[in-house]
Structure 1
C-alpha cells in the first residue's frame, strides 16, 4: 500500500453516534461519524449495515413446529364429528365421514413411515384402516398418531431427509421422492383432507372452526 494511503487512513476518526436494531435482532444499522483531519473537511455521516449471526432452524424443527400448529386446528375439526354421521357421504363417489376422518387421524404416522422405512408397497402391505365407530375413538387414534409422528421428528433424523422414499404397489410407482418431501407431503395431506372434512360438516349444517382465522360460524355470519 502506498505511503500516502497509509497516512491518510491513520487520520480518519470514526465515532458511532447510534444504532437501530430490528425486532428480530438479526440486522442492525450503525450511524457512523467520519472526520478526516488531514483534509480539514467537515464530518461525513454514513450507515453501516451489519448482519448478526443467527442460528437457522433445521428442517426437522420446521416440520415439528408445523405439525404442532396444524394439530390444533385438526383436533378441533375431528372433535366435532357427530357420532351418528360416520356413514354419511355427500355423494356416492365420495368417502364416508368415517373413511375421511380416520385417514386424517392416521396421517401423522406417515411421518414415521418416511423416517423409518425406504418405501411403502401396498402389494405386500395392504392398507387396513382402523375401524372407528365414534368420536372418542377417533380422537384417541389421532392423539396416538400424533405422538408416533412427533417421536421421529428429532435432530438425529435430519441427515435422513435427503434419502429417497417410494410409494408403490408392486411394479406400479405412485411416488418417488426424498424423505423430506414425504414428511412435507404428509403435513399437506392433513391440511387438505381437514378442509375436505370441513366441507362435509358444512353440508351437514355443523358449525366449523376456523383454520387460519375465524370461520363464518365463529364470526356469527
Structure 2
C-alpha cells in the first residue's frame, strides 16, 4: 500500500466536502454563536479553513509549541476570503503531503504549550489528527448551519436536506 497516495486521496475527498460546507457560511451571520462558550461562526469556519495547512506543520516541523509562536487566526471579512484561505491552506497541505516520504512517517511529532504536552505522536499521527480535526469541526459547522436553518450538503452520503426530509 502506498500510504502517501492514500493520504492524498483522503485529502482530496475531505477537501471537496469541506469546500461545500464552507461555501454556505453566511456573511451576515459571521458573529453568531449557538452558545456563549462556542466559537462564533466565522471563528469556526476560519479554523476549519486553516486545518489543511497542518499537514505542512506535520511534514516540515517536528514540534509545534503554541508558547513559541505568534499564531493569529486569519482575519476574514467575506465568504470569498474564507474560500481563498481554504484553497491556500489546501494547496499548502497537499504539497506538503506530496513531499512527505514514508520513511519519515514514524518520526516523533509533538504539540505543546510550553511544558504542557497536548499531543505526543508521530508525523503520521499528526496527519491523522489533522484529518480528525477537519471531520470534527466540519460536523460542528454542519450543526451551526442547521441551527441557522441553512440546508446542508451530505458528507458521506445524502443529507436530510438532499433527501427532502422534514
Distance 2:142 2:116 in 1: 32
- TM-score, normalised to structure 2, is 0.96
Cα RMSD of the aligned pairs, angstroms, is 1.0
Is contact 2:23–2:79 with CA below 8 Å preserved after alignment?
A: yes
Corresponding residue of 2:43: 99
Residues 115 and 157 in structure 1, CA contact (< 8 A), matched pair in contact too = no
- Given the superposition, is the C-alpha separation of residues 205 and 133 from structure 1 closer, same or farther in structure 2, using an over 3 Å criterion? same
Work out which of the residue numbers 153, 163, 166 in structure 2 matches 1:209.
153
Whether 1:168 aligns to 2:112 is yes
CA offsets per residue over residues 168-195 of structure 1, 9 Å max, x none? 1111111110000100110111111001
SS in 2 for 1:166: strand
Aligned residue for 2:124? 180
In the other structure, the counterpart of 1:65 is 9
**1:117-176 C-alpha deviation (Å, 9 max, x unpaired):** 010001111431000111100000000000000001126522111100000111111111
What is the match of residue 128 of structure 1? 72
Q: 2:85 matched to 1:141?
A: yes
Secondary structure at 1:66 match in 2: helix
**TM-score computed with the length of structure 1 as normaliser:** 0.73
Q: SS in structure 1 opposite 2:54?
A: helix
User: Which residue of 38, 53, 67 corresponds with 1:109?
Assistant: 53
Count of paired positions: 165
TM alignment of 1:4-15, pairs within 5 A: none
**Distance in 2 of aligned mates of 1:88 and 1:209:** 20
Which structure shows the higher strand fraction?
A: 1
Aligned equivalent of 2:164: 220
Q: What's the counterpart of residue 190 of structure 1?
A: 134
Gaps of 5+ in 1: 1-55
- Of Structure 1 and Structure 2, the greater helix share is in 2
**Map of 1:23-34 to 2, 5 A cutoff?**
none
- SS of aligned partner of 1:154: helix
